[in-house]
Amino acid sequence: MLTEYLQAALLGIVEGLTEFIPVSSTGHLILLIDLLGFRGPPGKVFEIAIQLGAILAICVVYWPRLSGTLAGLGRDPRANRFTVNVLLGFLPALVIGFFAHGFIKGVLFNPWVVSVALIVGGLAILVIERWVGRGETRSVDDFPFSLSLRIGLLQCLAMIPGVSRSGATIMGARALGVQPAAAAEFSFFLAVPTMVAATCYDLYKNWSSLTLEGSGLIATGFIVAFLCAVLVVRSVIAFINRYGFVPFAWYRIVIGGAMLLLLSLR
């Protein structure tokens, strides 16, 4: 039992630390669950819980901005523009995810796909960081609507496990001329509707098999994921401004390569 709680805490740590940086939280969880042989509660309730912990972290850290936007809707042009930008960025994932969900879950969720996607994504980050300048767009409030929609389309690449939702969003924004901090912040805001929609859809698809069995494991994973995600969200902008995205690229390449080696030796 203690081992199960340690595994739940470890998975919560991984979800919280990786959800909002360009290294693929889903990919890490697939690889780690496979390595640990973790058997959580029935259905998808454990994975759903730790995703909700990460979503809550964004809401807590950015509550002043989010609450101010909600209060200003219909009256404040900046609040209206911000909301439309986030919804436009979310729209492609909503449509494509609805139609492709079954194929993605059934075919692409395996360690081999994740490992290759980690390496390819790392190489893509190196190329973008090498050839794209600092960028001109400094704030989410300055995004034209067309830019938000294009970033949303690029976010759909993250439906391939191992690509990374935040990675596709951030690096897509960077390739389209957005400065690093603004690209990361837009990824944070875009995560809320995207992850809520994905979580609700998973709840709907797995409703018949969801139980409260293993509620202690669920609570452990949720709390740990929330605390770790708060830490990341509060510190990652400063890290990016200082070091850029290259460290994440090399991390992805090393982890993906190591996993391919381990999988080939089985």
pLDDT of amino acid 266: 73
**Predicted confidence band of residue 30 (pLDDT cuts 50, 70, 90):** confident
pLDDT of amino acid 197: 84
**Predicted confidence band of residue 168 (pLDDT cuts 50, 70, 90):** very high
pLDDT of amino acid 208: 66
The answer on pLDDT for 49 being more than 80 is: yes
pLDDT of amino acid 154: 94
More confidently predicted of 70 and 266: 70
pLDDT tens string 195-233:
888 778 777 776 766 666 667 888 899 999 999 999 999
* Rounded mean pLDDT, 171-197: 91
- Average pLDDT taken over every residue of the chain: 87
> Dihedral of the CA atoms 206, 212, 217, 219 (nearest 10)?
100
In the chain, what percentage of residues exceed pLDDT 70?
91
> Helices marked H in the chain — which ranges?
2-18, 25-36, 45-61, 63-72, 77-103, 111-131, 145-155, 165-175, 180-205, 215-243, 246-264
DSSP state, 163? S
Contact 170, 183 (CB under 8 A): yes
Alpha carbon distance 255, 232 (integer Å): 20
